[in-house]
Amino acid sequence: MKEFDSVQLSHGIDHFEGKSILVIGDIMLDRFIWGKVSRISPEAPVPVVEVDRESTMLGGAANVANNLVSLGSKALLCGVVGEDRPGEEVISKLEDLGVDIGGITIESARPTIVKTRIVAHAQQVVRYDLEKRVPLKSSTIQHILDFVREKRGHISAMILSDYGKGVLSRKLMHGIAAEISGSTFPVAVDPYVKNYPLYRNVTVVTPNNAQAGQIAGMEIKDENDLIKAAKRLMNHNRSKSVLITRGEEGMALFEEGGKVTRIESIARKVYDVTGAGDTVIAAFTLGIASGLDMKSAAFLSNLAAGIVVGEVGTSTVKIDDLKRAVASYLSK
């Protein structure tokens, strides 16, 4: 694709290392139960999964941090975990990655969010979630804001990872806006529909196609609808850009001044979209923080997403894999 410069892209990726990205949002643990199905239960018309193994991975905002580290940068994370074994596991995994966990608070009344997926023959059979949505304690909000104040002069960008579990509340968002007022680093948001009015004057929001339609209050059926929805999103919160992920149709980037870039999907096999949005926002934010224009950063994030959806389970992209994907795709 001649519209993208492989040298520029590689140079941008080389600058991922040394970048420090602060992630704030809903921390989760993704649990996978792997097995196979050979019969239907005699008790109900449901498959019986014979379990082979179990595994756990970081989810939500913690998976964004995981992706950032995998792509070569330093990650700092703010959020909440419970005083429980899943919370201990999340903290242990983050520490192993070298993530700065100084912004994480442990709340005994708020259990760690756990999403459990039962997978048979490379396909999800069912998912069940353990969570308790209660407002953050005032002391927790203050701890996050104190951490933001301490780190704001040392970070390259900020990512708000909103899964609607209660961390990115109106009170916290107002506090964050006050703390980073005057800062020049980019702020990227993976949005939750109902919280969209809280994201004001950010650099980019990254909804999927369905979310974009819900936020804009319309059904996106064609290209004209897509453009109209993007304009509504940008006007609604005065964001500088909107990156809409569209599954098999790729991505659409809308920037100030009416510039639109469409990027085709490069995924050849889609086994699981779990965590793909986390990968997109991590790669895109690192791209613009490393000096790439938004169009080039979106292209990199599309390549990264194409890699992770080819794997079953929450996944990350290693920086060398991304470099190889750039070289391979642009040589066609």
- Residues annotated as catalytic are 278
The b-or-e profile of 270-293 (16+ CB within 10 A means b, else e) is: ebbebbbbbbbbbbbbbbbbbebe
Helix (H, G, I), strand (E, B) or coil at 246: coil
Q: How far is CA 114 from CA 23, 29, 85, in A?
A: 19, 5, 11
Cβ-Cβ contacts under 8 Å for 67 (sequence gap 6 or more):
275, 278, 279, 282, 283, 304, 316, 317
Residue 124: HSE in the Cβ half-sphere, 13 Å Cα cutoff = 17
CB 94 within 8 A of CB 118: no
Residue 82: closest CA among 51, 113, 120:
113
Distance CA 18, CA 38 (A): 49
Helix (H, G, I), strand (E, B) or coil at 280: helix
Distance CA 154, CA 172 (A): 21
Distance CA 271, CA 317 (A): 15
* Crossing angle of the two packed helices 319-330 and 6-14, in degrees rounded to 10: 180
74: left (phi over 0), alpha (psi -120 to 50) or beta: beta
* Strands lying side by side in the sheet with 74-82: 100-107, 74-82, 20-25, 157-161, 187-190, 204-205, 241-245, 251-255, 260-263
* Crossing angle of the two packed helices 319-330 and 294-308, in degrees rounded to 10: 110
